[in-house]
Amino acid sequence: MAATTFSGSVASIKSQGYIGNSAFHRDFGNSSLQLTAKRFKIDLGLSGKKHHWSRNTGSCLVQATFSQGTTVSDEVSTPVDSTTVEPIKKSREAALILIRHGESLWNEKNLFTGCVDVPLTRKGVEEAIEAGKRISNIPVDMIYTSALIRAQMTAMLAMTQHRRKKVPIVLHKESEQAESWSQIFSQETEKQCIPVVTAWQLNERIYGELQGLNKQETADKYGKEQVHEWRRSYDIPPPNGESLEMCAERAVAYFKEHIEPQLQAGKNVMIAAHGNSLRSIIMYLDKLTSQEVISLELSTGIPMLYIVKEEKYIRRGSPAAPSEPSVYAYTKNLARYRQKLDEMVH
């Protein structure tokens, strides 16, 4: 889209033609219009006067009306040269980063946590910062977290390490008042922010009557096999809790409805969530069976990277990653992004 300025007013001209090396420039009193085009026939109507410029093939009609509120409409015909090749459409590519939160205070105490809202330990904070270093060269346009503080802390701490230095801002859309109070009134500031969406659907699975209990004491009481069944089976929930299957229903449904459209639009997304909600999403991305997903282990604070292209998810990093931040196999687009960050620094 080309932008054209008329005495301080900006008009946009949508074009479907071919941009080449030939230039057309014409002054109209205090207004100036400049188009760069190749093989166009252009008719311009301004202030009752018609000005004409043409080339051999193709045509473009631009109708413009300029006043206090400037509007521009245009119609571009298909080039008449039958040998012209249509431009190749580039498929969108996006990065998807998945991070399991760092160690929580109840992880440290070996307690069943589930949906109890427990913060990170010092080690969990360090894990989140380390996760941020690993993804510091990967673009992030949007962040999704669960409604639980340990996932939100992980996302925020990770982004403090990003080289782009954009600020993650939690969106508050729970009410009109909350949305109004959290408005940003500077476009320049808004460009330097990353929206953060919190969703209960990404919460850890509910452990029901096990929440707050010591894992070892629970195993001693109910038996190791029973506790293992509650923790690792796909479709057997703990008392008054959720199974992995139940957790997957809400987490994957949310991913499909809210996150997937952003990825398909070319947005780079980070999700900071929990072991079971992330396992559910990975089950969908990697097309795992119910038996394969129950054996999937996710380390705390180790980001996983997927590339989304042509509606396919390609894993570029493993949960059992080495300690080096360069674990990820970059695509050309990610390599270019990293190069731009290097140029910004130097």
Asked whether residue 105 is marked as a ligand-binding residue, the answer is: yes
Asked whether residue 22 is marked as a ligand-binding residue, the answer is: no
The single residue of 101, 127, 130, 162 carrying the catalytic annotation is: 101
Asked whether residue 299 is marked as a ligand-binding residue, the answer is: no
Phi and psi at residue 193, to the nearest 5°: -115, 155
Q: Is 162 a catalytic residue?
A: no
Residues 67, 46: Cα–Cα separation, whole Å:
11
Q: Is 204 a catalytic residue?
A: yes
Phi and psi at residue 197, to the nearest 5°: -105, 125
Asked whether residue 310 is marked as a ligand-binding residue, the answer is: no
Strands 269-273 and 9-13: unpaired
Asked whether residue 103 is marked as a ligand-binding residue, the answer is: yes
Asked whether residue 172 is marked as a ligand-binding residue, the answer is: no
139-159 burial by CB neighbour count: b if 16+ within 10 A, else e? bbbbbbbbebebbbbbbbbbb
Residues 158, 140: Cα–Cα separation, whole Å:
11
Asked whether residue 107 is marked as a ligand-binding residue, the answer is: yes
Strands 2-6 and 9-13: antiparallel
The single residue of 127, 130, 204, 242 carrying the catalytic annotation is: 204
Asked whether residue 150 is marked as a ligand-binding residue, the answer is: yes
Asked whether residue 124 is marked as a ligand-binding residue, the answer is: no
Asked whether residue 231 is marked as a ligand-binding residue, the answer is: yes
Dihedral-angle region of residue 153 (phi above 0 means left; psi in -120 to 50 means alpha; beta otherwise)? alpha
Query: Which residues belong to the annotated binding site for substrate?
Result: 100-107, 113-114, 150, 204-207, 215, 231-232, 275-276
Active site residues: 101, 204
Question: Which residue positions form the known binding site?
Answer: 100-107, 113-114, 150, 204-207, 215, 231-232, 275-276
